[in-house]
A and B are shown apart, each in its own frame.
Chain A
């Protein structure tokens, strides 16, 4: 252990001098994990162990070990959506995007419970599991991800999704879609129906098109990928179109909403998508339906008419139920996209707010970041980044910061960004699960 030197004093002082007068005192004490009084500061339950929930649970414990944290997750293992497009492209397997909760349990002191929460009673501060068990909380964090609006597309439901998978929750659906691509004959057509805004992972459908084209180029060069879009523009559009053209020529096609890309109905058995004007019969069809906040958020009345959950954007406390916080894809978070990095960042802001509140302090000023990488070809990566702050109660991007990878970047830069994408994945999942 290092000695306490004058140098260290200067270091630590520097950290706090960046803060305001009174604010700095509470902020610096809030960083001190342990209080002499010992346990019983409060019980926090986190529902959902993904990009938002696992982080909220871990960062509450990191900041204050005396808070009792229970993470309740439906599944034994977590399968990451980010990087799962590389499973479709064939460059990685599903195990490489699958994670367990042992380290959170054993190293971080989080009580990890496998159960599916089916009811929340915000008045009594309890949640009920499918197992029949009831759990009490002082503060509840809900990080349920998205659910699908199957009703928006005639003939589509969970059963039809077994034939034409959405694969928009990574796991068995990802594997199904990959198998279908493998079984497809050369010269076939794969349709990807991209959903309307807002939805999980805005660049995701377009990275997926590139990854499927990458597989086709190597193994089925006469085949095509056609994106049928509900929208007229999409995330990182210029960079994606440039990448498609460079690597896949006319193998990838994009049909805008105005150009007939909006899908209204589906016939699963014949793998046919019904647009406003045309019908599209594919050999493989990936229909990503319109979305809303995850099921438990709907059941518990945490969502508004938009289908998403309004929250205080400083703390992520629900505007509809006190002591319940909603983070990740399910919440309405100002200008932040529904991405894994955004959920990670929101989980930390929410954790800090809960720790402050349980310690009798005001939640501090928040800071948020998003970074999304997309891999167009194994050595061609692109990104979008943003830094956010709270202005008049709304999350907005800091002007002059963030933005896209430049259009004219060199091949060497694109190769580095592809490597960064994979290194990001290692780090963000380590942040969640270790």
Chain B
């Protein structure tokens, strides 16, 4: 229902805004975004472990990340190499397509003790930005609830190593003070929140 209505409105919008667009050789959002699935799973619902779930993430956040990969502002092993293959408009189209997908939480089983430790840290230090246990996505805060813990851990470790240079700075300042065990507990906690 939602999708059909959205597409109908989207058509109208496309007609209205089409004046400024390139007319030839345009690739559809699905054509572009389906190439991501080889690593990020069908429609962005990653099957694990180190590949983040991106289907259902906030559009603005995904756009920002993809553009940062493209410019090299954001560190990566491979995403920079791939993001450079698309125009900014195409990256935005990919972000929009992924944002329109349903978020499918990781089915991973979590350790109750670790989750409890993670919850405490979250309540004390993270919940102002990552509201509703990491479910709310706004102001550049990505969804954390239900993300694969290996990925969250990977990101937290990266942020830990960056310290104050981790963006946003206020997050880096907090993460750099946590131990590896505590970071792991955070990753477990968010994975437990479906």
| Interface of A toward B, CB cutoff 8 Å | 1-2, 4, 8-9, 11-25, 27-32, 58-59, 62-63, 341, 344-345, 348-349, 352, 364-369, 371, 383, 385-388, 398, 400-403, 405, 409, 413, 416-417, 419-420, 422-424, 426-431, 434
B32 — nearest CB in chain A belongs to which residue? A367
Instruction: Please give 9 more A-B residue pairs, beta carbons under 8 A apart, in addition to A23-B23, A345-B35, A429-B47.
Output: A1-B2, A4-B2, A12-B96, A13-B9, A19-B28, A23-B26, A32-B7, A369-B35, A430-B42
Q: For B14, give its contact among A8, A13, A59, A62 (CB under 8 Å).
A: A13
User: Distance (Å) between the CB of A345 and the closest chain B CB?
Assistant: 6
Residues of B within 8 A of A9 (CB): 6, 9-10, 13
**Contact yes or no, B23 A12, CB < 8 A:** no
Residues of A within 8 A of B82 (CB): 369, 371, 385, 387, 401-402
User: Distance (Å) between the CB of A247 and the closest chain B CB?
Assistant: 19
Q: For A12, give its contact among B6, B19, B25, B40 (CB under 8 Å).
A: B6
B25 — nearest CB in chain A belongs to which residue? A365
**Contact yes or no, A21 B15, CB < 8 A:** yes
Complex Cα spacing A59 to B33, Å: 13
Residues of B within 8 A of A367 (CB): 27, 31-32, 35
Complex Cα spacing A63 to B34, Å: 11
A430 — nearest CB in chain B belongs to which residue? B47
Complex Cα spacing A197 to B90, Å: 34
**Contact yes or no, A11 B28, CB < 8 A:** no
Q: Mark B73-97, 1 if CB is under 8 A from A, else 0.
A: 0000110011111100110110011
B51 — nearest CB in chain A belongs to which residue? A423
A381 — nearest CB in chain B belongs to which residue? B77
Complex Cα spacing A348 to B10, Å: 24
Among A21, A30, A59, A63, find the residue whose CB has the most chain B CB atoms closer than 10 A: A21
Residues of B within 8 A of A405 (CB): 77-78
List the 8 closest A-B pairs by CB distance, nearest first.
A387-B85, A401-B85, A13-B13, A430-B47, A18-B93, A12-B6, A15-B96, A21-B18
Among A365, A366, A371, A431, find the residue whose CB has the most chain B CB atoms closer than 10 A: A431
Complex Cα spacing A429 to B51, Å: 13
10 A-B pairs with CB atoms under 8 Å apart are A9-B9, A12-B10, A18-B89, A25-B15, A27-B30, A349-B31, A369-B38, A371-B82, A388-B85, A409-B77
Residues of B within 8 A of A345 (CB): 35, 38
User: Distance (Å) between the CB of A408 and the closest chain B CB?
Assistant: 13
User: Distance (Å) between the CB of B88 and the closest chain A CB?
Assistant: 10
**Contact yes or no, B81 A16, CB < 8 A:** no
Residues of B within 8 A of A19 (CB): 14, 18, 21, 26, 28-29, 93
Complex Cα spacing A383 to B22, Å: 34
**Contact yes or no, A21 B21, CB < 8 A:** yes
Among B32, B42, B100, find the residue whose CB has the most chain A CB atoms closer than 10 A: B42
Asked if B109 is at the interface (CB within 8 A of a chain A CB), the reply is: no
User: Distance (Å) between the CB of A404 and the closest chain B CB?
Assistant: 9
Residues of A within 8 A of B85 (CB): 369, 386-388, 398, 401-402
Q: For A15, give its contact among B18, B21, B93 (CB under 8 Å).
A: B93
Residues of B within 8 A of A420 (CB): 39, 50-51, 77-78
Asked if B140 is at the interface (CB within 8 A of a chain A CB), the reply is: no
**Contact yes or no, A430 B7, CB < 8 A:** no
A18-B50 CB under 8 A given contacts A364-B31, A371-B39: no
Residues of A within 8 A of B83 (CB): 401
User: Distance (Å) between the CB of B66 and the closest chain A CB?
Assistant: 13
Complex Cα spacing A308 to B59, Å: 42
A31 — nearest CB in chain B belongs to which residue? B30
Complex Cα spacing A2 to B46, Å: 22
